Amino acid sequence: MSNCSAQQRPELEACRAVVTGSSSGIGRAIALELAACGSDVLVHTRAHPSAAEDVVAAVRSLGRASSMLMCDLADPSLHEQFVADAWEAMAGVDIWINNAGADVLTGKAREMSFDEKLERLWRVDVAATMRLSRLAGQRMCAASGGIMTPVIINIGWDQAETGMEGDSGQMFAAVKSAVMAFSRSLAKTLAPDVRVNCVAPGWIKTSWGSEASGYWQSRATRESLLGRWGEPEDVACAVRYLASPAAAFVNGQVIHVNGGFRSSCE
């Protein structure tokens, strides 16, 4: 349960948020956390409308307005229309969360070649994040002067700055480093009209974490100073803080959410 429920006045009351990739996992947790703090939420999915509608229903059960949009963000020709549709559905957007990311670690995708995985990650995690951020940022700047400074929050990776061995480490370090560097630069571009920050999760128990082998289970808990996997809700709470007025003077930052990182070599 969100800490926001204990507040007399929800800190995101009357805000309007878009959360990409919010039918499950971290995106779902973010959508519900923002709703619990008073924000209306647009839920996005690429190919799981039933799961997305469940999130819509959960948001509405918290007393907030919600709707769902489907879009394959790997297709750049769809980005402008997706942003326009989101703005129309919400009658404006105050908080834009680029959470959608390509899953190359579970299901059939894990059998793809390195190049195929990298291409998918580039299209969704990097190119879509950049294009959607720029499109949303332009609209936010044009509509500045609302109840709060508009916010864009992107998703990085804590080990992108230190590196991790293996194919997955190479791919995610390159891709998420790009997102983190872009976020810092976009913050400088859009300031002072829009705040832009990035959350860099560590070992978070999403679908891959639930299926991970004993080696990865042990490594995840060993490398966190808190000795446990993170939960999607841990990331959602950090996103909620960055979106809220409490973070009004936080801009151009990458916030690690990993319980404190201990190198596997330590």
Per-residue pLDDT tens digits for 80-135: 999 999 999 999 999 999 999 988 877 787 788 999 999 999 999 999 999 999 99
For residue 112, the model assigns a pLDDT of: 87
Closest CA to 100 of 166, 149, 161, 30: 30
For residue 10, the model assigns a pLDDT of: 83
Averaged pLDDT score across all residues of the chain: 90
Q: Is the pLDDT of residue 6 over 50?
A: no
On whether residue 63 sits in a domain, the answer given is yes
Neighbours of 128 (CB within 10 A): 26
Rounded Cα distance between 58 and 31, Å, is 9
Do 220 and 209 contact (CB within 8 A), yes or no?
yes
3-class SS of residue 253: coil
On whether residue 204 sits in a domain, the answer given is yes
Rounded Cα distance between 98 and 93, Å, is 13
b/e burial code for range 62-96 (CB count within 10 A of at least 16 → b): bebbbbbbebebbeeeebeebbebbbebbeebbbb
| pLDDT more than 70, % of the chain | 92
For residue 94, the model assigns a pLDDT of: 97
Q: Is the pLDDT of residue 265 over 60?
A: no
Q: Give me the CATH number covering residue 220.
A: 3.40.50.720
Q: Is the pLDDT of residue 3 over 60?
A: no
On whether residue 100 sits in a domain, the answer given is yes
What Å distances lie between residue 16 and 40, 49, 62, 87, CA to CA? Answer: 5, 21, 14, 10
Rounded Cα distance between 254 and 162, Å, is 14
| pLDDT more than 90, % of the chain | 69
On whether residue 207 sits in a domain, the answer given is yes
Name the pLDDT band for 1 (thresholds 50, 70, 90). very low
Q: Is the pLDDT of residue 7 over 50?
A: no
- What is the signed CA dihedral for 190, 195, 201, 204, rounded to 10 degrees? -120
Q: Is the pLDDT of residue 43 over 70?
A: yes
Provide CB contacts within 8 A for 165, sequence distance 6+: none
On whether residue 1 sits in a domain, the answer given is no
Name the pLDDT band for 32 (thresholds 50, 70, 90). very high
Closest CA to 135 of 86, 175, 174, 91: 86
On whether residue 238 sits in a domain, the answer given is yes
Amino acid at 16: R
On whether residue 4 sits in a domain, the answer given is no
For residue 169, the model assigns a pLDDT of: 83
pTM (2 d.p.)? 0.91
- In terms of C-beta density within 10 A (0-12 exposed, 13-18 middle, 19 or more buried), how is residue 233 classed? middle
Domain that holds residue 173: 10-257
Average of pLDDT values for 190-200? 97
Sequence length of the chain is: 266
Q: Is the pLDDT of residue 167 over 50?
A: yes
Tell me the per-residue pLDDT of 133-146, one tens digit each, with 9 for 90 and over. Answer: 999 999 999 986 66
For residue 264, the model assigns a pLDDT of: 60
Can you point out the beta strands (E) in 27-76?
40-45, 66-70
For residue 111, the model assigns a pLDDT of: 84
What Å distances lie between residue 15 and 32, 65, 250, CA to CA? Answer: 14, 10, 18
For β-strands 254-257 and 95-98, DSSP reports them as: unpaired
Number of domains in the chain: 1
For residue 230, the model assigns a pLDDT of: 83
For residue 146, the model assigns a pLDDT of: 66
For residue 5, the model assigns a pLDDT of: 45
Tell me the per-residue pLDDT of 203-233, one tens digit each, with 9 for 90 and over. Answer: 887 776 677 778 777 787 878 888 888 899 9
Closest CA to 169 of 216, 221, 227, 235: 216
On whether residue 155 sits in a domain, the answer given is yes
Helix (H) or strand (E) holding 16: strand 16-19
Provide CB contacts within 8 A for 108, sequence distance 6+: none
